[in-house]
A = this chain, B = another copy of it.
Amino acid sequence: MKNSSTTSDNILACARNLIVAGGYNGFSYADIADMVGIRKASIHHHFPSKVDLVRTLVARYREEAELGMANLELQVSDPLELLRLYAGYWEACIADASAPFCICALLASQLPVLPEEVGLEVRAHFRSLSGWLTSVLERGARHGQLQLTSTPLAEAEAFMAAVHGAMLSARAYGDPKIFGVVTGPLLERLASRFPCDESRDGDGCSHDDQDERSST
Any B CB within 8 A of the CB of A13: no
A198 → chain B closest CB, angstroms: 10
A114 → chain B closest CB, angstroms: 8
Copies in the complex: 2
- State which residues 163-200 of A face B: CB under 8 Å: 163-166, 168-169, 171-174, 178, 181-182, 184-186, 188-189, 194-197
Is the CB–CB distance between B23 and A109 below 8 Å?
yes
Stretch at the interface among A3-11, A69-77, A145-153: A145-153
- State which residues 113-137 of A face B: CB under 8 Å: 113, 120, 122-123, 126-127, 130
Any B CB within 8 A of the CB of A41: no
Smallest CB gap from A112: residue in B: B21
Consensus secondary structure, chain A interface: helix
A170 → chain B closest CB, angstroms: 9
A98 → chain B closest CB, angstroms: 14
Bound-state CA distance A196–B198 (Å) is 11
Any B CB within 8 A of the CB of A205: yes
